[in-house]
Structure 1
Amino acid sequence: AADHHWLALACELAAQCPASDTAFSVGAVVVAADGTELARGHSREGGDPVVHAEEAALAKTDPADPRLPGATVYSSLEPCARRASRPAPCARLILDAGVRRVVTAWREPDTFVAAADGGGVLADGGAQVVVLPEHEDAAKAPNHHLLT
């Protein structure tokens, strides 16, 4: 039940993103094992045209927070495995933060990156990746213009 609650919130955050023709609208929430919300973020937050949701949320956490290794990142879209706008993709940022569990609604399509596999990068780095496809429609809704 908690996974569904937090992933639904991530999908709601995606709807807050300024629209873009060159990037997906994504929401993310970092939640400690005890259910405490540590941070949230969304794509293009704060007027930064290239910030990703997971990046925005993780930037609001204390890297020394001992709760991060037991935390879960909820992201409306699979965290990126490659990106041109920053040196580190979101899958790497999540692993570097020590987070080892990610719940997502939707695997990244090949719209902007061919053979995107953030879930594979996360799994290879020791993270558990859970996909809840029943939230996929909500994750896709703010990105409808990119999918038609």
Structure 2
Amino acid sequence: MDDLDWLGLACDLAKLCPPSHTAFSVGAVIVGADGREVARGFSRESDPHDHAEEAALAKTPGGLAGATVYSSLEPCGHRASRPRTCAELIVASSARRVVFAWREPALFTEGTGAEILAAAGIELTELPALAARAQEPNTHLL
């Protein structure tokens, strides 16, 4: 699978999110350096405050050096519900790349995750061709 395939899977996972009027529905997939899936998650998967990247990272055994995180939405750079943002969690995981479809709109907070990741040396790839697919489970918010 390539970046479009993995990111498409993340967009599909966003459709599994319990509905919310106060948070985006997001899906995430972590792929190891060997090209195999390590974990996946989606927003509010097991807790109303779960973010997709956070849920996926919690399922990994650690040691994600060289991994890629695919997220339907730019990983968060600010949040009130937990002490660490998804961008901070990704940096701490040692993943080397983040691929996302849609920049976080300034609906709940300013989207600063990409800047945090870039400052930490994480390679970023935005695939706006999948933005509409990532936005689909969030149309009630937009």
Which one-letter code corresponds to 2:112 in the other structure? D
State the TM-score, normalizing by the size of structure 2: 0.98
Which one-letter code corresponds to 1:21 in the other structure? H
Secondary structure in structure 1 of the residue aligned to 2:138 = helix
Instruction: Give 5+ residue unaligned stretches, structure 2.
Output: none
2:90 matched to which residue of 1?
94
User: Aligned match of 2:137 in 131, 142, 147?
Assistant: 142
Which one-letter code corresponds to 1:128 in the other structure? E
Quote the sequence identity (%).
Answer: 60
Written as runs of structure 1 = structure 2, the 5 A alignment for 1:1-148 is 2-46=2-46, 48-63=47-62, 65=63, 68-113=64-109, 115-147=110-142
- Displacement, 1:32? 0.8
Secondary structure in structure 1 of the residue aligned to 2:117 = helix
List structure 1 runs of 4+ shifted beyond 4 angstroms.
none
- Displacement, 1:33? 1.9
- Displacement, 1:146? 0.2
What are the superposed Cα offsets for residues 23-44 of structure 1, whole Å, 9 maximum, x if unpaired? 0000000001221100000000
Query: How many aligned residue pairs are there?
Result: 142
State the TM-score, normalizing by the size of structure 1: 0.94
Distance across 1 between alignment mates of 2:111 and 2:101: 15
Secondary structure in structure 1 of the residue aligned to 2:131 = helix
Secondary structure in structure 2 of the residue aligned to 1:61 = coil
- Displacement, 1:106? 0.2
Distance across 1 between alignment mates of 2:28 and 2:15: 11
Of Structure 1 and Structure 2, which has the larger fraction of its residues in helix? 1
Which one-letter code corresponds to 2:122 in the other structure? A
Instruction: Give 5+ residue unaligned stretches, structure 1.
Output: none
Secondary structure in structure 2 of the residue aligned to 1:91 = helix
Distance across 1 between alignment mates of 2:65 and 2:105: 28
Distance across 1 between alignment mates of 2:33 and 2:92: 18
- Displacement, 1:69? 1.3
